[in-house]
């Protein structure tokens, strides 16, 4: 697993660092550290040979015939968690509509967990397990257009992966149970049965979690109440009233204390360990400014009825929908560091700003395949930049986003292979954000840009989309052909190079783009910093008259993520 669970994997190195910082080093594997993050942006190292996908990844990643034939409607996950035995048991009631006639559907559950029974009404169903997949067979044909509910009972010891992915039975610093989930990489079926893919989401979900009296469970959605079960356990009921990714579904069980606030009608709820209450009350004030900033650019917080929650966990953080988990030590920057290294990051709490940005991109607008995860991470990293712009101004925003240049590797395309549950490279974060900053410069009209990204979000909210949907929308709204730009930045390793050849005697410069996309064409600001002029280079040579000498001729590389070669 490459660095799972803080919001998603940043560099393995970063994951390793934060893992150590989270005090979980006993489980770390220092050998598995990381590619250097200090390579220059233009590095063109040999791409690593992609590992062949495992059968489990193919079965989990492909949207196969027994997934295509049905559409999820709802889940009710109803489980009991035993901290002493380190077990989970219960059922998921899965409601779905058939889209085609059929007698089989595919669900998923990690082989470490036992299937106790699968019922349609009172009738037990047969099933076949194949690595993580569970093919459920029905004795009679299920008919297109009809809705069905099956109850999938399971139990066992959920896998605790070496890092903080999966399901973890931990202890807080005082030795009390602290149990949490973070499973984006390995998949939600590591701890509960579901249709474990990205394309199809339920419309709503109930989460019921029975835990020993005295502990608190915080899950996604609206808190509906708790019920003493009379056997030493209390059931905590939560209701998710929006579509939700499987991997966002989360249990957080601990000795939490709760405080609350609100932003207009939006309830803000915070859950932390008692010893951290004072620190949290100061640090979590930033949640309001964050929500205001994102609402300014994109519109209303997407999960208004479910509220917004921040929940303390021992790993750095994860964007669990309406229940964002937080482990940034109640201080600004990222785990005590200046994250982009240019003095802006220490002004805010990176985890609050980044993980919560995913409520708009990742949780509301979602990718339909992990291959296109830049829709989550590139956009959310760009949302950090917008937060900085809204809060601290444009100059800081440009500094901040360009601080990400040193983290870009350009070793693999941002979009990974589809249908195999592949994890794209970390460039999806940093290069993704730098690309969006570039696109803003291409649009070259801030009012138009802000309207465009607002409308883009509004158009696709609560949907699962692919890059093609993004490109088609931007092309249609701008009237430009941006396909070669998207393709160059997302489907190739290299960024474009602006080639400049000066003829100072003639007072001219020849210019063209060197790019993998033959039709790559992108306007760019060149000349004097105080008085840019926009040229329209393509992959063919053109000539510009300029009084500027080679060493006086600048390119606005803080506004466009490109290389420049001068001769």
Residue 421: partners with Cβ closer than 8 Å, 6 or more residues away: 53, 57, 58, 60, 61, 187, 370
* Closest residue by Cα to residue 104 from 73, 69, 133, 131: 69
Contact window for Zn ion (CB under 5 A) among 3-11, 24-32, 68-76, 417-425 = 3-11
Least CB distance from residue 8 to Zn ion, whole Å?
A: 5
For Zn ion, the closer CB: 332 or 380: 380
| Gyration radius of the chain over CA positions | 25
Cα(7)–Cα(363) distance, integer angstroms: 12
For Zn ion, the closer CB: 8 or 512: 8
Q: How far apart are the first and last CA of the chain?
A: 44
| Window 226 to 265, contacts with Zn ion (CB under 5 A) | none
Strand partners, 160: 166
Binding track, positions 288-327, relative to Zn ion; x by CB under 5 A? ----------------------------------------
Least CB distance from residue 10 to Zn ion, whole Å?
A: 8
Cα(432)–Cα(428) distance, integer angstroms: 5
Cα(316)–Cα(325) distance, integer angstroms: 8
Least CB distance from residue 380 to Zn ion, whole Å?
A: 5
For Zn ion, the closer CB: 283 or 316: 316
For Zn ion, the closer CB: 113 or 353: 353
Least CB distance from residue 389 to Zn ion, whole Å?
A: 19
Cα(250)–Cα(323) distance, integer angstroms: 8
Least CB distance from residue 240 to Zn ion, whole Å?
A: 20
Least CB distance from residue 211 to Zn ion, whole Å?
A: 28
For Zn ion, the closer CB: 12 or 380: 380
Number of residues that bind Zn ion (CB under 5 A): 4
In this structure, the number of other CB atoms found within 10 A of the CB of residue 404 comes to 24
Residue 538: partners with Cβ closer than 8 Å, 6 or more residues away: 512, 513, 519, 520, 521
For Zn ion, the closer CB: 377 or 427: 377
Question: Do the strands 233-240 and 266-272 form a parallel or antiparallel pair, or are they unpaired?
Answer: unpaired
Least CB distance from residue 272 to Zn ion, whole Å?
A: 21
Least CB distance from residue 219 to Zn ion, whole Å?
A: 20
Binding track, positions 348-387, relative to Zn ion; x by CB under 5 A? -----------------------------x--x-------
For Zn ion, the closer CB: 7 or 253: 7
Contact window for Zn ion (CB under 5 A) among 8-16, 228-236, 342-350, 440-448 = 8-16
Contact window for Zn ion (CB under 5 A) among 2-10, 217-225, 499-507, 558-566 = 2-10
For Zn ion, the closer CB: 7 or 353: 7
For Zn ion, the closer CB: 204 or 464: 464
For Zn ion, the closer CB: 8 or 407: 8
Cα(492)–Cα(558) distance, integer angstroms: 21
Residue 393: partners with Cβ closer than 8 Å, 6 or more residues away: none
Helix (H, G, I), strand (E, B) or coil at 32: helix
Range list of H helices, 182-318 = 277-283, 286-298
Least CB distance from residue 209 to Zn ion, whole Å?
A: 25
DSSP 341: S
For Zn ion, the closer CB: 177 or 357: 357
Chain residue at closest Cβ approach to Zn ion: 7
Strand partners, 216: 254
Cα(302)–Cα(304) distance, integer angstroms: 6
In this structure, the number of other CB atoms found within 10 A of the CB of residue 213 comes to 12
| Interaction of residue 7 with Zn ion, rule CB under 5 A | yes
Helix (H, G, I), strand (E, B) or coil at 523: coil
> Phi and psi at residue 227, in whole multiples of 5°?
-130, 125
Adjacency order of strands within the sheet including 252-254 = 166-171, 177-182, 252-254, 216-217
Please report which helix (H) or strand (E) contains residue 402, including its range: helix 394-403
Torsion angle defined by CA atoms of residues 51, 57, 59 and 61, in that order, rounded to the nearest 10 degrees: -100
Query: Do 217 and 86 form a contact (C-beta atoms < 8 A)?
Result: no
Least CB distance from residue 87 to Zn ion, whole Å?
A: 31
For Zn ion, the closer CB: 15 or 485: 15
| Window 502 to 561, contacts with Zn ion (CB under 5 A) | none
Least CB distance from residue 352 to Zn ion, whole Å?
A: 12
Least CB distance from residue 324 to Zn ion, whole Å?
A: 11
Strand partners, 511: 500, 542
| Window 92 to 151, contacts with Zn ion (CB under 5 A) | none
For Zn ion, the closer CB: 3 or 156: 3
Least CB distance from residue 18 to Zn ion, whole Å?
A: 13
Helices (H) and strands (E) in the chain, counts: 12, 29
Cα(87)–Cα(300) distance, integer angstroms: 39
For Zn ion, the closer CB: 8 or 440: 8
In this structure, the number of other CB atoms found within 10 A of the CB of residue 112 comes to 15
Least CB distance from residue 343 to Zn ion, whole Å?
A: 22
Using CB under 5 A as the criterion, which residues of the chain lie in contact with Zn ion when the complex forms? 7-8, 377, 380
């Amino acid at each position: 697993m490459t660095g799972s669970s803080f919001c998603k994997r940043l560099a393995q190195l970063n994951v390793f660092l934060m893992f150590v910082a989270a005090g979980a080093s006993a489980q770390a594997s220092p050998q598995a550290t990381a590619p250097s993050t200090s390579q220059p942006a233009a590095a063109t190292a040999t791409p690593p040979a992609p590992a062949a996908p495992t059968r489990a990844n193919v079965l989990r990643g492909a949207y196969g015939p027994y997934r295509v034939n049905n559409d999820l409607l709802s889940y009710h996950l109803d489980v009991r968690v035993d901290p002493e035995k380190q077990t989970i048991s219960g059922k998921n009631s899965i409601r779905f509509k058939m889209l085609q006639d059929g007698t089989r559907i595919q669900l998923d559950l990690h082989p470490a967990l036992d299937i106790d029974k699968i019922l349609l009404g009172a009738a037990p169903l047969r099933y076949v397990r194949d690595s993580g997949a569970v093919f459920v067979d029905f004795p009679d044909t299920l008919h297109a257009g009809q809705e069905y509910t099956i109850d999938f009972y399971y139990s066992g010891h959920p896998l605790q992966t070496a890092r903080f992915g999966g399901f973890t039975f931990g202890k807080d610093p005082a030795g009390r149970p602290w149990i949490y989930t973070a499973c984006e990489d390995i998949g939600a079926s590591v701890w509960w049965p579901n249709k474990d893919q990205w394309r199809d989401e339920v419309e709503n979900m109930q989460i019921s979690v029975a835990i020993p009296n005295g502990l608190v469970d915080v899950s996604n959605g609206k808190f509906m109440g708790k019920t003493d079960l009379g056997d030493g356990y209390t059931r905590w009921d939560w209701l998710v009233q929006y579509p939700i990714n499987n991997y966002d579904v989360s249990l957080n069980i601990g000795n939490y204390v709760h405080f609350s606030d609100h932003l207009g009608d939006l309830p803000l709820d915070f859950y932390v360990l008692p010893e951290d209450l004072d620190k949290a009350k100061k640090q979590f004030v930033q949640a309001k400014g964050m929500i205001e900033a994102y609402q300014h650019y994109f519109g209303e917080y997407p999960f208004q009825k479910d509220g917004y929650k921040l929940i303390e966990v021992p790993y750095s953080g994860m964007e669990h929908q309406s229940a964002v988990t937080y482990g940034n030590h109640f201080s600004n920057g990222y785990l005590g560091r200046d994250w982009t290294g240019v003095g802006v990051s220490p002004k805010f709490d990176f985890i609050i700003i980044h993980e919560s940005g995913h409520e708009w991109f990742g949780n509301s607008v979602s990718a339909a395949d992990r291959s296109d995860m830049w829709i989550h991470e590139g956009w959310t990293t760009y949302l950090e930049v917008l937060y900085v712009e809204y809060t601290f101004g444009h100059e800081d925003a440009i500094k901040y986003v360009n601080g990400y240049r040193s983290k870009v590797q350009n070793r693999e395309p941002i979009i990974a292979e589809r249908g195999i549950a592949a994890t794209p490279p970390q460039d999806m974060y940093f290069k993704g954000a730098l690309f969006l900053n570039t696109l803003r410069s291409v649009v070259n009209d801030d009012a138009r840009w802000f309207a465009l990204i607002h409308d883009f979000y509004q158009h696709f909210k609560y949907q699962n989309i692919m890059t093609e949907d993004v490109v088609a929308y931007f092309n249609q709204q701008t009237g430009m052909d941006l396909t070669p730009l998207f393709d160059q930045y997302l489907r190739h390793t290299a960024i474009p190079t602006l080639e400049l050849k000066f003829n100072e005697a003639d007072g001219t410069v020849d210019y063209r783009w060197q790019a993998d996309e033959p039709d790559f064409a992108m306007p760019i600001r060149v000349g004097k910093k105080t008085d840019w002029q926009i040229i329209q280079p393509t992959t063919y040579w053109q000539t510009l008259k300029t009084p500027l000498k080679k060493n006086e001729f600048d390119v606005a590389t803080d506004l466009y993520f490109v290389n420049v070669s001068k001769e």
